[in-house]
């Protein structure tokens, strides 16, 4: 007995109301990371900052910024001088970057956040300033934890 083509196909499941998150491509992630470090920057500023490890033409940086803006990860405003836009990362970008780190910790370290931090500290001891920042962060997190009880 042979089945005809229509009989062999299965109905497709109905689309879910939640749109799946798309991963941020590497080039966009590099632009977003530089923008986050800078706070605010023009496309030309970002192209210069990216040049040592990801040389991109100005137009390519503008395209990547447009894609990030479309995802809601970047906002822009007119600069004070000339026609250049000034870009900044949005709060949603912080959430997206935190999600990226969470996925890395889950995949690579099996969810062990202390193991994740230890891997960085084992590769080279923190400076005195970094150690103080870590202590201050731990104190702040401890206060938040106690306040939430």
Beta carbons of 113 and 102 less than 8 angstroms apart: no
Beta carbons of 104 and 115 less than 8 angstroms apart: no
pTM of the model: 0.68
- Looking at domain 26-90, its CATH architecture is Orthogonal Bundle (1.10)
- The model's pLDDT over 29-86, given as tens digits with 9 standing for 90+, comes to 999 999 999 999 999 999 999 999 999 999 999 999 999 999 999 999 998 877 889 9
- The model's pLDDT over 89-104, given as tens digits with 9 standing for 90+, comes to 999 998 888 888 898 9
Between helix 43-50 and helix 58-70 the angle, nearest 10°, is 110
């Amino acid at each position: 007995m042979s089945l005809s083509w229509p009989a062999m196909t299965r109905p497709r499941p109905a689309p879910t109301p939640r749109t799946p998150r798309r991963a941020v491509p590497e080039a966009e992630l590099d632009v977003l990371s530089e923008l986050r470090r800078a706070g605010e920057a023009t496309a030309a500023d970002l192209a210069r900052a990216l040049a040592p490890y990801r040389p991109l033409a100005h137009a390519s940086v503008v395209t990547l910024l447009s894609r990030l803006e479309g995802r809601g990860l970047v906002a822009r405003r007119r600069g004070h001088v000339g026609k250049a836009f000034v870009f900044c990362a949005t709060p949603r970008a912080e959430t997206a970057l935190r999600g990226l780190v969470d996925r890395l910790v889950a995949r690579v370290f099996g969810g062990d956040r202390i193991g994740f931090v230890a891997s960085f500290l084992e590769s080279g001891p923190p400076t005195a300033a970094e150690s103080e920042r870590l202590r201050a962060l731990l104190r702040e997190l401890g206060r938040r934890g106690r306040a939430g009880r």
